[in-house]
Amino acid sequence: MTQIFDLILKNGHVATPWGIVKTDIAVMDGRIADIGDFSTATAREIIDCKGLHILPGAIDTQVHMREPGLTHKEDLSTGTLAAIAGGVTTVFEMPNTDPLTVSAGAMHDKLHRAQEKAFCDYAFFIGGCAENAHILAQLEKIPGCCGVKVFMGSSTGALLAAHDDVILKILQNGTRRVALHAEDEERLKSRKHIAETSHDVKDHPVWRDAECALQAVKRAVKLAREAGRRIHFLHVTSGDEMVYLRDHKDICTIETTPQHLTLSAPECYERLGTRAQMNPPIRDKKHTEMLWDAVNKGVVDVLGSDHAPHTLEEKAKEYPASPSGMTGVQTMVPVMLNHVNNGKLPLERVVDLLAHGPQRIYQIAGKGRIALGYDADFTVVDMAREKTITDKWIKSRCGWTPFDGMKVKGWVQGTILRGNVVMWDDEITDSATSRKSRGQPVRFADLLTNATNLPMDEVNVKPMDCC
Which are the catalytic amino acids?
A: 306
Q: Counting every residue, how long is the chain? A: 467
Helix boundaries (H) for 47-146: 76-85, 104-117, 136-139
What is d(CA 65, CA 91) in angstroms, rounded to the nearest whole number?
10
What gap in Å lies between CA 306 and CA 23, rounded to an integer?
Answer: 34
Nearest 5°: phi and psi at 172?
-85, -10
Could you please report the per-residue DSSP string of 354-368? IIIHHHHHHTBSS-S
Query: Cis ω on the peptide bond leading into residue 205 (within 30° of 0)?
Result: no
- Contacts of residue 258, Cβ cutoff 8 Å, sequence gap at least 6: 303, 305, 328, 331, 332, 335, 336
CA distance 11 to 24: 6
Could you give the CA distance from residue 97 to residue 99 in angstroms, rounded to a whole number? 6
Whether residue 294 contacts residue 300, with contact meaning beta carbons closer than 8 Å, is answered with: yes
Residue 221: its H or E element: helix 210-227
| Nearest alpha-carbon partner for 100 in 77, 66, 137 | 66
Q: Pairing relation of β-strands 53-56 and 88-93?
A: unpaired
Q: What is the helix (H) or strand (E) element at residue 412, kind and residue range?
A: strand 407-417
**CB crowding 200-236: b at 16 or more within 10 Å, else e:** ebebbbebbbbebbbbbbbbbbebbeebebbbbbbbb
What is the Cα–Cα distance from 240 to 237, expressed in whole angstroms?
A: 9
Beta strands in 121-175, from DSSP E residues, in sequence order: 121-127, 145-151
Query: Which residues are CB-contacts of 335 (< 8 A; sequence separation ≥ 6)?
Result: 258, 262, 389, 403, 406, 408
CB 399 within 8 A of CB 406: no
C-alpha distances out from residue 6 to 42, 212, 418, Å: 9, 52, 11
Nearest to 306 by CA among 285, 324, 284: 324
